[in-house]
């Protein structure tokens, strides 16, 4: 197991923010990204936390992100709109779009907002949570690099295409469920490589489209639940890509191949005010009742308790303020150092290989 360092939330936030400011970001943008990355690490989603800073800084240094974008919003209907991120920092653009979606949903009870021309924006659950904290039921999703084979196929077409769902509760933090549409995220394969461990053959295939237990032989990820996950990743790609007139499927730009160019990625939000469909207070109370009833179900052998989907991440988040956050030692040393980036990502394929 790789060495880790324990930091309190504020320490990690300041380290990330400081590194991003050194990379050329204005403080406002550095704060937005640092808050997002700390939230990811605090939730136990380390693949989208501080480990991403080196990549973001290298892309910034090579001109692949607009540091002063002209982010514009076009309201296309009473409850619809699109944001053009002008190749800005994904977290900043995504938050801008979410604010527009919240404003519209407060007026009409529902909002659908698409985002065009943005860079990597982190974990989808972060944005769904923010909407739920304002009382909305929310869906957020985005397209990604073609890393997954279609069900029954041998060549990659769609990305891991994550989606998240969140709903408000009466007296508790919202329920938030965030998932990739592949059996495992790419970060799990990288972790197995680093530890020189085999992976289950249900996770991925090799270059011939055959199931593999060798993490170094992975050439494509498998969709969750076969054809069902395949359908979900197609849905996400259509809503966050094709619907917005953006590149789709295998045409989505690579995260690594050319860090000098913008990515033109797409993202999609759907916000719903429960008050427009029933009594909002009763709705929130019913969410709480559902959670209580799930907790009351006897646990199966090998399990400690029944949790609602996404609850483990919420428990991590709840404890982070007092218990601190563990991050990889090499990530901590990078954040503390004067090194801006290690020039290691450019020219790689979707699987972070040269």
Residue 166 sits in the same domain as residue 43: no
Instruction: Map residue 130 onto helix, strand or coil.
Output: helix
Burial of 193 (0-12, 13-18, 19+ CB in 10 A): middle
| Structural domain includes residue 123 | yes
Q: Is 91 one of the catalytic residues?
A: no
How many residues are recorded in the chain? 354
Residue 77 sits in the same domain as residue 226: yes
pLDDT at 50: 94
pLDDT at 171: 87
Q: What is the pLDDT of residues 35-52, one digit of tens each?
A: 999 999 999 998 899 999
Q: What's the CATH number where 78 sits? A: 3.30.1370.60
Residue 265 sits in the same domain as residue 299: no
Instruction: Map residue 66 onto helix, strand or coil.
Output: strand
pLDDT at 2: 63
Residue 322 sits in the same domain as residue 301: no
Q: Is 335 a residue whose pLDDT tops 80? A: yes
Provide the terminal-to-terminal Cα distance of the chain, rounded to the nearest Å: 25
Q: Which two tokens stand for residue 265?
A: 């990625």
Q: Which residue has the higher pLDDT, 184 or 103?
A: 103
pLDDT at 195: 73
> How confident is the model over 277-294, as a mean pLDDT?
97
Residue 119 sits in the same domain as residue 252: yes
- Average pLDDT across the chain, whole number: 94
Tell me the percentage of the chain whose pLDDT exceeds 90: 86
Instruction: Map residue 291 onto helix, strand or coil.
Output: helix
pLDDT at 178: 96
Q: What is the pLDDT of residues 192-217, one digit of tens each?
A: 776 778 999 999 999 888 999 998 89
Residue 11 sits in the same domain as residue 153: no
Those residues whose C-beta lies under 8 Å from the C-beta of residue 352, and which sit 6 or more positions away, are: 186, 190, 256, 345
pLDDT at 184: 86
> How confident is the model over 319-341, as a mean pLDDT?
94
| Structural domain includes residue 269 | yes
Q: What is the pLDDT of residues 58-95, one digit of tens each?
A: 999 999 999 999 999 999 999 999 999 999 999 999 99
Confidence of residue 351 (pLDDT cuts 50, 70, 90): confident
Residue 119 sits in the same domain as residue 26: no
Burial of 301 (0-12, 13-18, 19+ CB in 10 A): exposed
List the Cα angle 220/123/101 in 5-degree steps: 125
In order of 230, 298, 311, the CA distances from 222 in angstroms are 9, 32, 25
Confidence of residue 186 (pLDDT cuts 50, 70, 90): confident
Q: What is the pTM of this model?
A: 0.95
Whole-angstrom distance, CA of residue 113 vs CA of residue 243: 11
| Structural domain includes residue 39 | yes
pLDDT at 197: 86
Residue 153 sits in the same domain as residue 238: yes
CB 249 within 8 A of CB 238: no
Residue 292 sits in the same domain as residue 261: no
Whole-angstrom distance, CA of residue 258 vs CA of residue 278: 49
The residue from 224, 256, 276 where one domain ends is: 276
Beta bridge partners, 72, equal 84
CB 69 within 8 A of CB 88: yes
Q: What is the pLDDT of residues 234-269, one digit of tens each?
A: 999 999 999 999 999 999 999 988 999 999 999 999
pLDDT at 8: 96
Q: Is 56 a residue whose pLDDT tops 60? A: yes
| Domain around 304 | 281-309
For the chain, state the CA radius of gyration: 20
pLDDT at 194: 62
* Total domain count, the chain: 3
CB 116 within 8 A of CB 282: no
Q: What's the CATH number where 22 sits? A: 1.10.1530.10
The residue from 227, 260, 276 where one domain ends is: 276
From the candidates 120, 216, 295, 341, which is the catalytic residue? 120
| Structural domain includes residue 353 | no
pLDDT at 3: 87
Residue 228 sits in the same domain as residue 173: yes
């Amino acid at each position: 197991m790789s060495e880790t360092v324990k930091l309190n939330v504020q320490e990690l936030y300041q380290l990330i923010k400081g590194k991003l400011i050194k990379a050329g970001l204005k403080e406002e943008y550095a704060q937005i990204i640092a808050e997002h990355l700390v939230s990811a690490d605090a939730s136990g989603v380390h693949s989208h936390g501080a480990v991403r800073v080196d990549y973001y800084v290298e892309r910034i240094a090579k001109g692949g992100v607009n540091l002063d974008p002209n982010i514009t919003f076009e309201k296309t209907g009473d409850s619809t709109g699109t944001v053009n991120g002008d190749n800005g920092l994904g977290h900043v653009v995504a938050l801008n779009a979410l604010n527009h979606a919240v404003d519209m949903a407060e007026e009409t009870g529902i909002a659908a907002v698409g985002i065009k021309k943005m860079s990597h924006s982190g974990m989808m659950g972060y944005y769904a949570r923010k909407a739920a904290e304002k009382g909305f039921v929310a869906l957020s999703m985005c397209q990604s690099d073609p890393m997954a084979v279609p069900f029954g196929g041998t060549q990659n077409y769609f990305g891991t295409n994550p989606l998240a769902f969140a709903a408000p509760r009466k007296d508790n933090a919202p329920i938030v469920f965030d998932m990739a549409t592949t059996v495992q995220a790419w970060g799990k394969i990288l972790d197995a490589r680093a530890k020189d461990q085999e992976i289950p053959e249900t996770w991925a295939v090799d270059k011939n489209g055959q199931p593999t237990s060798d993490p170094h032989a992975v050439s494509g990820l498998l969709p969750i639940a076969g054809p069902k996950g395949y359908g979900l990743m197609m849905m996400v790609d259509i809503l966050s890509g094709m619907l917005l007139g953006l590149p789709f499927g295998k045409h989505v730009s690579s995260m690594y191949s050319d860090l000098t160019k913008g990515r033109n990625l797409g993202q999609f939000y759907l916000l719903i005010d429960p008050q427009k469909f029933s009594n909002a207070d009763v709705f929130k109370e019913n969410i709480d009742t559902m959670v209580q009833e799930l907790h009351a179900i006897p646990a199966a052998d090998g399990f400690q308790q029944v949790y609602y989907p996404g609850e483990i991440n919420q428990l991590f988040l709840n404890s982070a303020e007092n218990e601190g956050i563990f991050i990889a030692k090499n990530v901590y040393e990078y954040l503390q150092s004067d090194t801006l980036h290690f020039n290691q990502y450019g020219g790689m394929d979707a699987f972070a290989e040269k």
